[in-house]
């Protein structure tokens, strides 16, 4: 591969993954907000054994919706990726581990999302992102 192709792939290579992961989190967060509501998510969390289920229901909704937008636009991507990966680790441990690996009761879906989010936490959003745009503008403003 030549350097021009490499630069292009570095800039745009993570975008398809970001779009898909963002869509999944945004849709699941939106479902919690618009369909289940705080009371529905709180009820689910209390059945899973969470203390302060209403508080964590609100936190969960914010993490998924805001995290979905952050990943989509590539804004604070490393932080969002880490927070969403932690959420998926908790979901696996609390709700899915006993169901084996395969869906519908297993943790393969959450594990896949966790891996993608850990990738964002490790390498960021790529060049086609607001993070990269802000970094470029900051570099131009520096003396």
Structure tokens at 115: 């891996």
Break the chain down into helix, strand, coil percent, rounded to 5: 80, 0, 20
Entry pTM: 0.91
Continuous H helices in 13-129: 15-31, 37-47, 53-73, 77-91, 108-123
Instruction: Tell me which residue of 36, 33, 87 sits closest to 63, measured CA to CA.
Output: 87
Tokens 């964002």 — which residue?
Answer: 120
As a whole number, mean pLDDT of residues 115-130 equals 96
pLDDT at 109 over 90: yes
pLDDT at 89 over 90: yes
Instruction: Tell me which residue of 102, 82, 87, 75 sits closest to 28, measured CA to CA.
Output: 87
Q: 2-6, 89-93, 102-106 — which is least confidently predicted?
A: 2-6
As a whole number, mean pLDDT of residues 40-62 equals 98
Which CA distances in Å does 87 have to 83, 117, 141? 6, 10, 36
Write down the mean pLDDT value for the chain: 93
């Amino acid at each position: 591969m030549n350097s021009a192709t490499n630069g292009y792939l570095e800039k745009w290579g993570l975008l398809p993954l970001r779009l898909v992961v963002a869509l999944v989190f945004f849709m699941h967060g939106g479902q919690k907000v618009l369909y289940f509501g705080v009371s529905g998510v709180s009820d689910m969390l209390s059945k899973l054994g969470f203390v302060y289920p209403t508080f964590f229901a609100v936190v969960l909704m914010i993490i998924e919706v805001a995290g979905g937008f952050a990943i989509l636009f590539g804004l604070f991507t490393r932080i969002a990726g880490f927070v969403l990966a932690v959420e998926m680790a908790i979901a696996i441990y609390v709700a899915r581990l006993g169901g084996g690996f395969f869906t519908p009761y297993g943790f393969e879906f959450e594990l896949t999302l966790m891996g993608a989010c850990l990738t964002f936490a490790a390498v960021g959003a790529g060049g086609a992102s607001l993070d990269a745009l802000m970094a470029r503008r900051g570099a131009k403003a520096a003396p």
